Amino acid sequence: MTDRRCDIAVIGGGIVGLASARELLLRHPEMKLLVLEKEPKIAQHQTGHNSGVIHSGIYYAPGSLKARTCVAGKQKLIRYCDEHGIPYNLCGKVIVATDEEELPRLENLYERGRKNGVPGLEMIGPERLREIEPYAVGIRALYSPTTGIVDYEQVSCSFANDVRARDGEILTSHEVRRIEERDGRYYLETPAGTVAARYVISCAGLYADKVAEMSGAPSVPRIVPFRGDYYVLRRDKSHMVRGMIYPVPDPRFPFLGVHFTLRMNGEIWLGPNAVLAFAREGYGRFDVNLPELMDALTYRGFGVLAYKFWRVGFEEMYRDYSKIAFLKALQRYVPDLHLDDLEPGPSGVRAQALGLDGELVDDFVVNHNGRTLHVRNAPSPAATSSLAIAELIADTTERAFGLAG
Ligand SMILES: Cc1cc2nc3c(=O)[nH]c(=O)nc-3n(C[C@H](O)[C@H](O)[C@H](O)COP(=O)(O)OP(=O)(O)OC[C@H]3O[C@@H](n4cnc5c(N)ncnc54)[C@H](O)[C@@H]3O)c2cc1C
């Protein structure tokens, strides 16, 4: 057990925490900074369980934090990868409409993308779609030639190296369980000892609300975990998808719908769907953490959401347990797929903030309380946006805590 002192403690060694730690040390090299991560390794939750897409900024409301940080963050990420020899692939993506009813929403996405400054967007017909993705069908599609893929765990490890190179420390197996404020410092209790910090930046992902509550910040909005399962396309069928094939998303939800994604290792992932996870870090269909499940089910916001969307919720659950239903959703875009082309794949759990009114919080949320700053909602595309979110966090830290910029 060791007790440590520092100027800034960053809670959470996912991509947002590590990018923020890096940015703060670039600006304030004189400060002592510690990253506290509860797992034995960094990037083991959302950052290590995602689609690996470098989003280009199509979906997000113009002017929102998501739109601004995604477009800027993508450019920064690509420059960073170039400078650090991290492989990525701008393989392009199509968002495909399969019936007339989806066309206005597709048009709307095109307009949003243009307003957000996404380069190279093109509305295409079925023939051009076939040229780009020979096995895909649709009546119209939005083509984004600069959407790409990367391994975010690798990017995070590189951010961690930057932190260490600037004398920051990353303390793994340091779960923050209690926060106490006294004598102008925050005392963060972990099983491996107490860390005293002048400032605390929390980037705790699936536990963002719990850490906020520990520090005396409001417990709302609460995090509700939504699991997404993937299948993997059989290796000998990988030629059926060249880049990324996405549906036109349902605008009522922040999730993008099951899609086809090329991975950096050449695999094609199919998914993820979105169902309530029965544990915040419940990656398996049958993983249950009873207190966490009860916490979600008894939250007023969840009751309102469930009442509004019970039918969609049940359909998603059914598709989660029925491989045939999952296949059917995919066949809408690639009809030549067969059931035995789908092999079991990994899963991820999204940390989605939910308001008391049952509204899924759409934009990124960063706020501060005393000398603690909390990232309260950083779902997709926060991995793409991480370097831009880090700048936002550093700006907010400087402004809110009076640090000289
Ligand atoms: C299925 C899925 C697909 C996605 N696809 C994409 C995509 O293609 N492109 C994209 O840009 N984004 C995507 N995302 C979103 C992206 O992965 C997240 O937005 C991003 O990883 C968030 O990073 P984070 O650092 O905030 O959270 P996390 O990576 O979850 O990190 C939070 C960290 O905090 C730690 N922690 C929590 N509580 C404590 C505590 N008390 N003490 C110490 N440590 C603690 C956790 O162990 C964890 O390591 C996807 C997400 C999911 C789940």
- For residue 244, give Cα distances in angstroms to 55, 101, 110, 132, 266: 11, 22, 17, 10, 12
**Which two structure tokens, joined as six digits, stand for 212?**
């906020």
Evaluate if residue 404 carries a pLDDT over 80. Answer: no
Gap between the Cα atoms of 396 and 393, Å rounded = 5
**Domains present along the chain, CATH in parentheses:** 4-47+153-221+363-401 (3.50.50.60), 224-235+266-360 (no CATH)
| Amino acid 372: pLDDT | 97
Residue 106 CA, ligand 1 centroid: distance in Å: 28
Q: Is 181 in the pocket of ligand 1 (CB under 6 A)?
A: no
For a ligand 1 pocket test, name from 23, 50, 54, 361 the mutation site with the most ligand atoms within 8 angstroms of its C-beta: 50
Q: Structure pTM?
A: 0.97
Q: Mean pLDDT over residues 144-157, rounded?
A: 98
Q: Mean pLDDT over residues 36-50, rounded?
A: 98
Express each pLDDT in 304-350 by its tens digit: 999 888 888 888 888 888 999 999 999 999 999 999 999 999 999 99
pLDDT > 70 fraction of the chain, expressed in percent and rounded: 99
Banded model confidence at residue 1, pLDDT cuts 50, 70, 90: low
Q: Is 168 in the pocket of ligand 1 (CB under 6 A)?
A: no
Higher pLDDT, 79 or 403: 79
CB 390 within 8 Å of CB 233: no
- For residue 212, give Cα distances in angstroms to 65, 181, 283, 375: 21, 13, 24, 9
Q: Reduced to 3 states, what is the DSSP secondary structure of residue 100?
A: helix
Express each pLDDT in 177-215 by its tens digit: 999 999 999 999 999 999 999 999 999 999 999 999 999
Angle at 256 between CA 385 and CA 103, to 5 degrees: 120
Residue 214 CA, ligand 1 centroid: distance in Å: 20
Name the residue with the closest Cα to ligand 1, atom 9.
53
Express each pLDDT in 241-254 by its tens digit: 999 999 999 888 87
| Amino acid 405: pLDDT | 63
Nearest atom in ligand 1 to 174's CA? 43
Q: Is 38 in the pocket of ligand 1 (CB under 6 A)?
A: yes
